[in-house]
Amino acid sequence: MACLLAGFLWKWLPAANQSVKLFWILAFGVSFSTFASLGFELFTYLQHNKYKLALANGLSSFVLGITLVWFGQRLLDCC
- Tell me the angle at which helices 51-75 and 35-47 cross, rounded to the nearest 10 degrees: 160
Q: Of the given ranges (34-38, 66-70, 74-78), which has the lowest mean pLDDT?
A: 34-38
CB 57 within 8 A of CB 42: yes
- The reported pLDDT for the residue numbered 32 is 63
Amino acid at 52: K
Q: What is the pLDDT of residue 23?
A: 79
Sign of the dihedral through C-alpha 34, 39, 44, 49? positive
Q: What is the pTM assigned to this prediction? A: 0.57
**Tens digit of each residue's pLDDT (9 = 90 or more) over 12-65:** 887 778 888 877 777 766 666 667 677 778 888 999 999 999 999 999 988 998
Q: Which residue has the higher pLDDT, 60 or 7?
A: 60
- How far lies 71's CA from each of 32, 35, 59, 74, in Å? 19, 19, 18, 5
